[in-house]
Amino acid sequence: MPDRRRFVKGALSAAATHPLVLLFGATLTEVAHASAIVAVRVWPAQDYSRVTIETDRALEASSFLVDNPDRLVVDIQGLALDGTLKDLVSKVQPNDPYIAQVRVGQNRPGVVRLVFDLKTRVNPQVFNVAPVGNYKYRLVLDLYPAQPTDPLMAMLDEPGTQQKGEAAPAHLESEANGAAASQPQGDSHAAPQKAERSADHADEMKPAQAGVARLITVALDPGHGGEDPGATGAAGTHEKDVALAIAERVRARIDAEPNMRAMLTRDDDYFVPLNVRVQKARRVQADLFVSIHADAFVTPDARGSSVFALSESGASSSAARWLAQNENDADLIGGVNIHTRDVQLARVLLDLSTTAQISDSLKLGNAVLHELGGVNRLHKDSVEQAGFAVLKAPDIPSILVETAFISNPDEERRLNDDSYKDHLADAIVKGIKRYFAKNPPLAKTRLVS
Ligand SMILES: [Zn+2]
pLDDT of 265: 97
User: Ligand 1: distance of its center to the CA of 224 in Å?
Assistant: 6
% of residues, the chain, pLDDT over 90: 66
Based on the domain organization, do 127 and 184 belong to the same domain?
A: no
**Domain endpoint, select from 145, 170, 186:** 145
pLDDT of 177: 37
Based on the domain organization, do 253 and 122 belong to the same domain?
A: no
pLDDT of 176: 38
Domain count, the chain: 2
Instruction: Using pLDDT thresholds of 50, 70 and 90, give the confidence band for residue 192.
Output: very low
pLDDT at residue 331 tops 70: yes
- Which residue range(s) make up the domain with 44? 30-145
Q: Is residue 125 part of a domain?
A: yes
How many angstroms separate the CA atoms of 364 and 52, rounded?
38
User: Ligand 1: distance of its center to the CA of 387 in Å?
Assistant: 14
Based on the domain organization, do 93 and 162 belong to the same domain?
A: no
User: Ligand 1: distance of its center to the CA of 394 in Å?
Assistant: 21
Instruction: Using pLDDT thresholds of 50, 70 and 90, give the confidence band for residue 152.
Output: confident
Instruction: Using pLDDT thresholds of 50, 70 and 90, give the confidence band for residue 348.
Output: low
pLDDT-wise least confident of 87-96, 177-186, 325-334, 379-388 = 177-186
Residues 6+ apart with CB under 8 A from 344: none
User: Ligand 1: distance of its center to the CA of 166 in Å?
Assistant: 37
User: Ligand 1: distance of its center to the CA of 231 in Å?
Assistant: 7
**SS3 assignment, position 348:** helix
Instruction: Using pLDDT thresholds of 50, 70 and 90, give the confidence band for residue 283.
Output: very high
**SS3 assignment, position 147:** coil
Based on the domain organization, do 276 and 260 belong to the same domain?
A: yes
Q: Is residue 14 part of a domain?
A: no
**Domain endpoint, select from 112, 145, 178:** 145
Q: Average pLDDT of 398-411? A: 97
Based on the domain organization, do 61 and 158 belong to the same domain?
A: no
pLDDT at residue 336 tops 70: yes
Based on the domain organization, do 94 and 155 belong to the same domain?
A: no
Q: Is residue 423 part of a domain?
A: yes
What CATH number did the domain enclosing 84 receive?
Answer: 2.60.40.3500
Q: Average pLDDT of 338-365? A: 77
Based on the domain organization, do 39 and 167 belong to the same domain?
A: no
pLDDT tens string 237-258: 999 999 999 999 999 999 999 9
- Annotate 176-214 with DSSP letters as a single string: HHHHHHH-HHHHHHHHHHHHHHHHHTGGGPPPPPTT--S
Stronger pLDDT, 316 or 445, i.e. the higher one: 316
pLDDT at residue 425 tops 90: yes
Based on the domain organization, do 198 and 347 belong to the same domain?
A: yes
Instruction: Using pLDDT thresholds of 50, 70 and 90, give the confidence band for residue 444.
Output: low
User: Ligand 1: distance of its center to the CA of 174 in Å?
Assistant: 36
Q: Is residue 17 part of a domain?
A: no
Based on the domain organization, do 282 and 366 belong to the same domain?
A: yes
Q: Is residue 13 part of a domain?
A: no
Helices (H) then strands (E): counts for the chain? 17, 14
Q: Is residue 24 part of a domain?
A: no
pLDDT of 156: 82
% of residues, the chain, pLDDT over 70: 76
pLDDT of 149: 82
pLDDT of 208: 41
Based on the domain organization, do 126 and 165 belong to the same domain?
A: no
pLDDT tens string 29-62: 444 567 889 999 999 999 999 999 999 999 999 9
Stronger pLDDT, 319 or 349, i.e. the higher one: 319
Instruction: Using pLDDT thresholds of 50, 70 and 90, give the confidence band for residue 351.
Output: low
Q: Average pLDDT of 259-268? A: 96
pLDDT tens string 355-374: 999 999 999 999 999 999 99
User: Ligand 1: distance of its center to the CA of 401 in Å?
Assistant: 9
Based on the domain organization, do 138 and 269 belong to the same domain?
A: no
Based on the domain organization, do 94 and 167 belong to the same domain?
A: no
- Annotate 243-293 with DSSP letters as a single string: HHHHHHHHHHHHHTSTTEEEEES-SSSS---HHHHHHHHHHTT-SEEEEEE
Instruction: Using pLDDT thresholds of 50, 70 and 90, give the confidence band for residue 203.
Output: very low
pLDDT at residue 103 tops 90: yes
**Domain endpoint, select from 124, 145, 166:** 145
Q: Give the residue from 376, 383, 359, 253 showing the smallest Cα distance to 307.
A: 383
pLDDT of 167: 42
How many angstroms separate the CA atoms of 305 and 380, rounded?
8
pLDDT at residue 354 tops 50: yes
pLDDT of 313: 85
pLDDT at residue 207 tops 70: no
User: Ligand 1: distance of its center to the CA of 295 in Å?
Assistant: 6
**Average pLDDT over the chain, rounded to whole?**
82
Ion ligand 1: residues, CB within 5 A, are 223, 230, 293
pLDDT at residue 319 tops 80: yes
Give the C-alpha distances (Å, rounded to integers) separating 7 from 11, 56, 77, 109, 371: 6, 18, 17, 16, 65
Q: Is residue 80 part of a domain?
A: yes
What CATH number did the domain enclosing 200 receive?
Answer: 3.40.630.40
Cβ-contact 120, 69 below 8 angstroms: no
Q: Is residue 207 part of a domain?
A: yes
